[in-house]
Amino acid sequence: MTDLQLPAWAPWAMGIGLAAFIGMVALSVRRNHGVKRSLFAAPYTLWMFIFTLLPCILIAYYAFTDANGHFTFNNFSSFWDSNYIMRENLRTVAGDEMAATVARGSVNVDTLVYSLWMAFLCTAVSLVLGYPAALFMADRKMRLGPTLVVLFIIPMWMNFLLRTIAWMSLLEDNGLINAFLQWIGIGKMQLMYNQQAVLLGMVYNFLPFMVFPIYTSLSKLDPKLAEAAQDLGCNEFRTLYKVTVPLSLPGVISGITMVFMPSVTTFFIPRVLGGGNTRMFGDLIESTFKTAGNWNLGSALSLIMMVLILISLSILRKADPNGEGGGIV
C-alpha cells in the first residue's frame, strides 16, 4: 500500500476556507449588531466543509489525475476496461499489435452490476417484509405494536459488525441451524459463503431502515380516513390499497433510499458471510484503496458510485418532492 500524498493546494484550500468562515461570522455579527440564532449553526457549517465538502473535492481531484498529479481520464477508462492499464503498458513496451491481443476486462463493470442487483434484491425483500411489519406496529388496535418497535430498535444498539458475525454461529457447518437440521434428519446444508447468505445478512442489517420510515408515515395517518373509506363501501383490502398505501408512499420512498444506498456500497457483509465468493462494489473500492494502493482509480470508482447514488436520489425524490418521508424513530 502506497502512502497518500495530498496535493499542495489542499492545506491552502483548508486555510482559505477557514479564514473565509471566520470572516463571514465576523461580518454577520457586525451587520446584525450581535449574534443571531442562525449563527449557532456555524460550527455545523464548518464541520460539513472540512469533513464532507473538502473530502469530495479531494476524491474528484484524485479521480481526474494520475500518480504524478497530471490530468487524465485513464481512471475512468480503467473502470470500463479493467485491463486498460495493462494494455497501455504493453503498447508502450511491445507495440500496438501485442496490445491488441489483450481483451477488454469487465471485472469492474460486472461488479457494479452485481452490486446493483444485490441491492435491488435486498430492497425488495426488505419492503415485502417491512411494510406488513410497519402496518402491524402502527395499528392502534394492536397492543403488541410498541413492543415490536422496541424489538426492532434493540438490535440496532449492537455494533454492525457484531450483528453480522453473530450470523456465522447460526449458518456455519456446525452452527445452530445445521445442528437443528441434523436433529430432524435433513442433514447439513451449505448455508454460508454463497449469495443467499450475503442477501440474508444484508436484509437483516438494513430491514429496520425500511420499517421505521414506513412506520412513522403510517402512525401519522388519521384513522378517520380509513373509517370514511369503509363507510363509502371499501373493504379492508381496498382501503389498504386505495388509502393507506398511497398516503404512506413518502415513507416507502424514504425506506427504499435508506436501504438501497448502503446496500450497494457494503463490503463487510460479503466478506464475512460470502467468504470471498461474492464481491460487491464496496469490496472493489476498499481493495483498490487498501490492497492495490491505487488512490486515483479508487477515487474514480468512488466518484462513479457517488454519481449513481445522486441520480437514484433525484429519481426517488420525484415521488416525495416535499421530503415528507418518515425517518428513524
DSSP-assigned beta bridge partners for residue 71 = 65
- pLDDT tens-place string over residues 163-222: 888 888 888 888 888 888 888 888 888 888 889 999 999 999 999 999 999 998 888 888
> What cell numbers appear for 137 in the block?
406496529
The 3-state DSSP class for residue 71 equals strand
- Contact call for residues 98 and 238 (beta carbons, < 8 A): no
- pLDDT tens-place string over residues 116-159: 999 999 999 999 999 998 988 887 777 777 778 888 888 888 88
- pLDDT tens-place string over residues 40-98: 667 777 788 878 888 888 899 999 998 888 899 999 999 998 888 888 878 778 877 77
Domain segments of the chain: what residues?
9-63, 107-317
pLDDT at residue 325 above 70? no
* Amino acid (1-letter code) at residue 319: A
Q: In the chain, pLDDT over 90 holds for what percent of residues?
A: 21
- Distance from CA of residue 207 to its chain's centroid? 13
Domain 107-317 carries which CATH code? 1.10.3720.10
The lowest-confidence range among 20-34, 58-72, 302-316 is 20-34
**Residue partners of 32: CB distance under 8 A and separation at least 6:** none
Residue 107 to residues 64, 103, 188, 279, Cα–Cα distance (Å): 21, 12, 33, 10
- Say how many C-beta atoms besides its own lie within 10 A of residue 273's C-beta: 27
DSSP-assigned beta bridge partners for residue 65 = 71
- pLDDT tens-place string over residues 247-300: 888 889 989 988 998 898 888 888 888 877 778 898 889 888 888 888 899 999
- Write down the mean pLDDT value for the chain: 83
Q: What is the pLDDT of residue 76?
A: 92
Q: What is the pLDDT of residue 31?
A: 74
- Higher-confidence residue of 40 and 312: namely 312
**Residue partners of 29: CB distance under 8 A and separation at least 6:** 35, 39
